Every structure is written in structure tokens, then in C-alpha cells.
Structure 1
């Protein structure tokens, strides 16, 4: 009887102590992602999340992180800041997410920054190269991608220093995204004692580019540096073609390169800066890993889905290091230490940025062609 009582007591203690551990092991690691999943920029959010979920699904199939599944909760903001704030409040107050991941856009990120600074919730791999996300005091932010400053410098070095274009116009989305890139285009031009022959602005999610194209035609540029998403930029280029206005264009990584290509018909001259390699460049082991997974899942290969794949790979690598101490503090300490296949990473503490890689291509009907400096 004494032995039975001791066994019962031990069982009772085990249930009391072990049950919370078992429940914790079953609790998913929730990540919140607010992004456009509808509207003119919908493919940006969809493809980034598709690329990330390739990694999360594979890790979950292997048991997750210490038995806990990774769950990416997505919320549609239509690329409109007020909706991003609503989504973020829901993630914080109702969903109780572990971290925020893969938010898409500069104006949307800017809108939630006060909330993030108050709660110090990890804000991981936002799809933006803006300076506002690279402030020294915001240690809760982890940027995977290179900055818009680095993209602007690369484009200007090629188009102005090598190609010798002199008449430069800017076609700029009229919000924080546009302003964040415009300042660096103008700074790089100023270093060369140049100024834009015209600065034309259009509204975010715009569907009418007639006035913008007319203003560009009046400026008579050789090259138009653009800041915007794929749909309005495609509309502007198509409208210019119909008016026999065919300058050289450049676009930045946020645009959605594959989506832009699918909307256009030649002839066009477009140069693109990207923060990941061509998603079909198999000399990169990152791209090789991406192809291996997308081949089995039949997912669309684009620079955006590749960026989502890369960002999620880094996140999972860091989470594994924190398996026995899964906390936000551990995650933020481990993320800067992670490596990504043969993709160079050199974490910069002041800007909380892991990569400084910029890839410049010419976009043609058959795909991307690497430029030679």
C-alpha cells in the first residue's frame, strides 16, 4: 500500500509538472504578417508569404521547433497603412503573436512603428529598404535585405557613370516609400552635379497614370528612375509606348519584377535592382535550395518569393538555436549570427541589417539579364 501511494504521489506530481510542458510543446509559434493580399499590389504579399511558407511547412513536417509548429498568420491590408495598424493591434491584443514577420511596405511599416516601439515586439524581415526601419535605437527590428540607399547608389553608378545618361526624370509614388528612395536618387545625382529634369508623383494604388506620363513626356528624359509597384508602373510604361515615348526605365526591388514583366510587351528598356539573385540563377546555393523546394511544391519562382524563402530560412535557423530557451530575447540575439547558404551576410548593428547585396539586371521579355559594370 505504501508503494502504491508513493507511485500515485509521483504520478500526481508528474502530471502537475509535465502537463504545462506538454501543452507548451503543442502551442504553435505564431507569427503575424500584415501585407497586401488584395488590390493592385496583392502579388507582393502573396508571393512573399508563399516563399516563407515553403520553409515553415518543411520545418513543421520535421517536428517544428521543439515540437511546436510554426504558424504564419496573414492579414490583408491592401497596402493601406490604416488597415495595417488594425491588423497589428489584432496580432498583439487578440492573437498574441510571438513576432511580426514579412510586413510589406514602407508606408505600412511607418504607420505601425509607434505601436512596435511601445511593445518592443520583434519586427522581422520587413519587405522594405527604408531608412525608417534602420534606426539605431530600434533593436527589435531585424532587416534581412539591403537598403534603398544601396539600391539607388547601384542604379546611378550604372546608368549615369557607365551608360552616361544625363537627362534623368523621377516617377515617384507619393508616400513614405517614394520619399525614402527619392532622397537617395537625388543625393547620388547631386554628387555628380546633376538634378532631375522632372519629378512626377502618383498616388499609391493608383489606376490612372495619364497625367504622370504627360508630365514625363514634357520633361524629355533619357532615363526615368521609378519608385512604385508593378501595376501603376506597367500602366505608365504601356501608356508611354502608345504615345511613342520609350525612355529607359529603372525599377527597385519592391516593384515586383516578374509581375511587371508579365504585364508588358516589347519593346522596352528596363533595368532592375534586386536584393536577391535572379531566382533562376543556379550558381547560387540559395537559389538551388529554393528550386529544390519549389520543384516539389510547384510554387511560382520570383524574386519576391525567393526573398520570403531566404528570410524564413534565417528565422528558422535562429529559432532552432533557441529551442531550449524560446524567447524573443534569444531570437533577436541569434538572428544576426545566422548564415544563408553561400549568400554573403555581414550584420550591421546600427542599421539592424544583415545583407548589403544588390543585383542589377536588364529586364527583357525572356527574363533577367545580368548587367556588366
Structure 2
């Protein structure tokens, strides 16, 4: 029987907990396991755990097994801070991995700096995590600014002139992405047909959709997360609009497509890693082989992001040597270059913690992302 992302992710989280007693290297993760973006978070965990399980099955890193302690923050920055404090002070993690959300990542920086703990592969493309260079954050994926700029450029290239923008409010992520979108509009010598604000937690589609339809937009760049976008697309379609919808890689998950349901067709999502169905690509081939061994027959962009970020951390731990400390791991990461597969290089130095600089587009068709 074909396993779903949800069932596989749940099983792997339980498996990780079961391994804890014999673990010697402890990694922490605070992320949304129950709220707005939990679908994509769980897929990222699935990809991450593929790497962890493989390493542990081979005897660990330098003979030491890995345990990942995962804590649910419900996408709430305050909970992220408390979880991170517990992970650092009480659980004595050597590093943090794949924390989700721009405000969540920004909120924990003081704790990272206080204790000298590296955070590898935060699942956000916020420019604030790239420039100025935060000394304890090591990005793996490209920035939201580049994604949003490319999204606008793409729409302009295919001849779309009336582009509406929905921007969630009180959101560091959306404010950041809007910088890139503005750059894209300026490059195309255009302006948004309409800019509609949306509440981050409780968007009111009764006030969001009418300005879009009244402006007769041909496309909508929807800068928000998870169900805030999926429910918005449904409301837009219910209002009779056939406008092209494009959103960013924070929504690049199979769960996002599932939540869209019959409204999924034609939605464009920016991507920050190679196409997950490019089976000849060494990175995809490696991830697919490990997934199939677990009974999982498909990859998703979110799964791939978790897979790549964890490969980076594991390789850094391996190079750090036995009994890695936070300080030694940081030193390793600050002088690091690694091909994660197929020529995708991740490199860090004290003046550059960017990681992979890659952006592409995919379109949802027949219930999956296609490029």
C-alpha cells in the first residue's frame, strides 16, 4: 500500500523519539507541527529523517548516533523562543535544524548568540538571515526576495500586465518578500494593479477578494503561508476569477496541493531546489532511493529541503570529529564547502552564510508540481 506523506512523517517522528536512549549527538528543532504550515513542516521532517536514519543505520557519525528532539511551536515566535531555550539549556543540543518561519527564526537569534549554537537550514528565505550575516545561522536555501522578483518577472515575460498582490500583514516574511516583488515590478516598469493587505492569522477573504476581482487582475502574487493561501485561492475561484495565482516556496509542499483540492490546477509555486522528479539528478536519485526503502514513493519540494539541510548538518558534524561541541561545529561551518549532489554547492565563510543560490518555478498540474 502506498504511504502518504502524513503517515510516513508521523512514523518517522516516532522512530526518532524511540532512538533517543542510545543517541550521543543531540540536535534540536522547533517548528510548527500542528498549525498553519504544519503540512510542509512534516514533509521537511520526513526528508530530514531519511538522512538521520541512514546515518544511524551505518553506525552514526564517528561512531556516535544522532537524536533529533522536535518541539511544536504552532508557528508562534514566542513558543519558538521558549522551545529553543529548553533545547539549548536543558537538552544541551549541539545544533538546531530546520526551524520554520521568518519571525520565529529572528526571535531566537539572541539565544543562538548567547550560547553560540548554530542553526542550520532555517526553513525561511528571509534576507534578514543573510544580510547582515548572522554569526550563528547557516542558510541552505535562496531568499524570498529572489523568489518574489522572479515571480513578477515570469508573469511580465508571459505578457501579464494586471498583477494583483496579496500581502500578509505584521509579517517579517511578507515584508521581506515584497522588497523582491517591488524590484521585479520596477524592472518590468510596472506597478501592482492592486495591493491587498491580509491578516496573518485570520485573513478575511470577504475583504481580500473583492479588490482583486474589481481590478480584473490577470494574476495574483499571494505572499502568505499555508492555509491562508489555499483558502484564499478557493475564495478567489468562488468569486469567478480565473486569475493566475503564484506564491512562494514556503508553500512548496504536497500538503499545500491537497489543501487546494479542485482549485489546485495552474497554481505556480517558486522553488529553491531542483525538480523532485528529475530522477537522473544525483541528489534526487539519492533521496528517492532512501524514500523508497521507507515505503515512500514520491518526493516533494518540502521533503527535499529537509533532506538537503540535514545532509549539510551531518557532513559538518562528520568533519568536526568525535564528540562535537557547539564551538567546534561553528568553526567547521565557517570554513565549509560541500556538494550536496549534482553540482549543488553549499559554501560558508565568516562573511557569507547564504548556501545554495537557486530559484525556479513549478506549476501544479494533475495533483503534483511540474516544471
TM-score band (shorter)? 0.7 to 0.9
Once the 2 structures are TM-superposed, how far is the Cα of residue 64 of structure 1 from its aligned partner?
0.9
Could you tell me whether the CA contact under 8 Å between 1:266 and 1:365 is conserved in 2? no
In the aligned structure 1, how far is the partner of 2:294 from the partner of 2:242? Answer: 39
1:88 aligns to 2:89 (yes or no):
no
Once the 2 structures are TM-superposed, how far is the Cα of residue 142 of structure 1 from its aligned partner?
0.7
Once the 2 structures are TM-superposed, how far is the Cα of residue 117 of structure 1 from its aligned partner?
2.6
In structure 2, do the counterparts of structure 1 residues 61 and 186 end up closer, same or farther at CA, with 3 Å as the change threshold?
same
In structure 2, do the counterparts of structure 1 residues 43 and 266 end up closer, same or farther at CA, with 3 Å as the change threshold?
closer
1:251-270 → structure 2 map (5 Å cutoff)? 251-262=247-258, 263-266=260-263, 268-270=265-267
Cα offsets for 1:187-217 (capped at 9, x unmatched): 2212322221222222234364332112322
Could you tell me whether the CA contact under 8 Å between 1:33 and 1:75 is conserved in 2? yes
Q: 1:241 aligns to what SS in structure 2?
A: helix
Partner of 1:23: none
1:312 aligns to 2:310 (yes or no):
yes
In structure 2, do the counterparts of structure 1 residues 100 and 193 end up closer, same or farther at CA, with 3 Å as the change threshold?
same
Once the 2 structures are TM-superposed, how far is the Cα of residue 170 of structure 1 from its aligned partner?
1.0
Partner of 2:340: 340
1:3-152 → structure 2 map (5 Å cutoff)? 28-152=24-148
Q: 2:71 aligns to what SS in structure 1?
A: strand
Q: 2:27 aligns to what SS in structure 1?
A: strand
Cα offsets for 1:215-251 (capped at 9, x unmatched): 3223322111112223121111111111211201111
Could you tell me whether the CA contact under 8 Å between 1:210 and 1:236 is conserved in 2? no
CA RMSD of aligned residues (A): 2.0
Cα offsets for 1:35-89 (capped at 9, x unmatched): 0000232112211112111101110111111222111110101111111111111
Q: 1:171 aligns to what SS in structure 2?
A: strand
Higher Cα Rg, which structure? 1
In the aligned structure 1, how far is the partner of 2:199 from the partner of 2:96? Answer: 27
Q: 1:331 aligns to what SS in structure 2?
A: helix
Unaligned runs of 5+ in 1: 1-25
Higher relative CO (Cα under 8 Å, sequence separation at least 6) belongs to 2
Unaligned runs of 5+ in 2: 1-21
Once the 2 structures are TM-superposed, how far is the Cα of residue 102 of structure 1 from its aligned partner?
0.5
1:206-217 → structure 2 map (5 Å cutoff)? 206=202, 208-217=204-213
Q: 1:194 aligns to what SS in structure 2?
A: coil
Q: 2:178 aligns to what SS in structure 1?
A: helix
Once the 2 structures are TM-superposed, how far is the Cα of residue 328 of structure 1 from its aligned partner?
2.9
Could you tell me whether the CA contact under 8 Å between 2:209 and 2:236 is conserved in 1? yes
Partner of 1:367: 368
In structure 2, do the counterparts of structure 1 residues 368 and 137 end up closer, same or farther at CA, with 3 Å as the change threshold?
closer
Cα offsets for 1:72-113 (capped at 9, x unmatched): 110101111111111111112211111111001101112212
Q: 2:339 aligns to what SS in structure 1?
A: coil
Once the 2 structures are TM-superposed, how far is the Cα of residue 254 of structure 1 from its aligned partner?
0.5
1:303 aligns to 2:301 (yes or no):
yes
User: Match for 1:163 among 143, 158, 161?
Assistant: 158
Q: 2:166 aligns to what SS in structure 1?
A: strand
Once the 2 structures are TM-superposed, how far is the Cα of residue 338 of structure 1 from its aligned partner?
1.6
Partner of 1:19: none
Once the 2 structures are TM-superposed, how far is the Cα of residue 266 of structure 1 from its aligned partner?
4.9
Once the 2 structures are TM-superposed, how far is the Cα of residue 343 of structure 1 from its aligned partner?
4.1
Once the 2 structures are TM-superposed, how far is the Cα of residue 326 of structure 1 from its aligned partner?
2.1
Once the 2 structures are TM-superposed, how far is the Cα of residue 305 of structure 1 from its aligned partner?
0.9
Q: 1:368 aligns to what SS in structure 2?
A: strand
Once the 2 structures are TM-superposed, how far is the Cα of residue 125 of structure 1 from its aligned partner?
0.5
Cα offsets for 1:113-167 (capped at 9, x unmatched): 222233231011000000111134422211111111221232222211x212121
